[in-house]
Amino acid sequence: MKKILYSLLLLPFASYAQIGSTIHCGFDFTSYFVVHPHEDGKSKTIDGLRISISDSEGKEVVNVNNFLSWKNGNKPLVFSRNYKIDNNNKKIDKTEDGKWFYYFADDYYLLSITNTFPAETYFLKVEDVDGEDNGGLFKTQIIPLASYNMYVLCSAEERDKIVQFGRRMNKPIDVVMEKK
């Protein structure tokens, strides 16, 4: 009888603990870098670029044991292009009506990283690879990263920083490409 009585007394506390805890979102423990490479005076995103995380000398960084990203372990950290989906979540051409798969990234390049990514340690390498869409038309750029470049989508800290002064978070990294 005592066990039943204790169980009944503990049930409200256990229920309150479940209700009082925060609701998790699909982006917990994950942040993103979003890059918008374009020509000076134009807003169209340049196709066919290879964008990666590198060191100061331009050597690509490898995601050893998924330390820097939960995806693509032991491979270089290379950005991919956002894409559109239809109402059935099927990938469609970007000229068709639909919504962007990553709603926050529009027609840009993005990379999934961990929330603990040490951004100040690394650089963004943007290169136009010969043989791709542009045929090596643009100069390679190596740009230092900062923690404010990260899209942190699921934290109260991110909401608090919105009301602060200074550079806004969750803005794409704007890269103006120069022709060779």
pLDDT of 3-37, one tens digit each?
Answer: 665 555 555 555 444 444 455 454 556 788 999 99
- Alpha carbon separation from 87 to 83, 98, 105 (Å, rounded): 14, 7, 18
- Residue 137 confidence (pLDDT): 87
- Residue 152 confidence (pLDDT): 78
- Each domain of the chain, given as residue ranges in start order, spans 24-177
CA–CA gap between residue 82 and residue 92 (Å, rounded):
11
- Residue 171 confidence (pLDDT): 86
Of 50, 49, 48, 79, nearest in space to 63 by CA: 79
Is the dihedral angle over the CA atoms 64, 69, 75, 79 positive or is it negative? negative
CA–CA gap between residue 122 and residue 52 (Å, rounded):
10
Report the chain (180 residues): mean pLDDT per 10 consecutive residues: 59 50 56 94 93 95 93 94 91 87 88 92 91 77 93 59 54 92
pTM of the model: 0.76
| HEC assignment per residue over the chain | CHHHHHHHHHHHHHHHHHHHCCCCCCCCCEEEEEEEEEECCCCCCCCCEEEEEECCCCCECECHHHCCCCCCCCCECECEECCEECCCCCEECCCCCCEECCCCCCCCEEEEEECCCCHHHCEEEEEECCCCCCCCCECCEEEECCHHHEEECCCHHHHHHHCCCCCCCCCCEEEEECEC
Could you tell me which residues are beta bridge partners of residue 36? 174
Tell me which fold the domain 24-177 belongs to.
Immunoglobulin-like (2.60.40)
CA–CA gap between residue 108 and residue 106 (Å, rounded):
6
Could you tell me which residues are beta bridge partners of residue 57? none
CA–CA gap between residue 37 and residue 179 (Å, rounded):
12
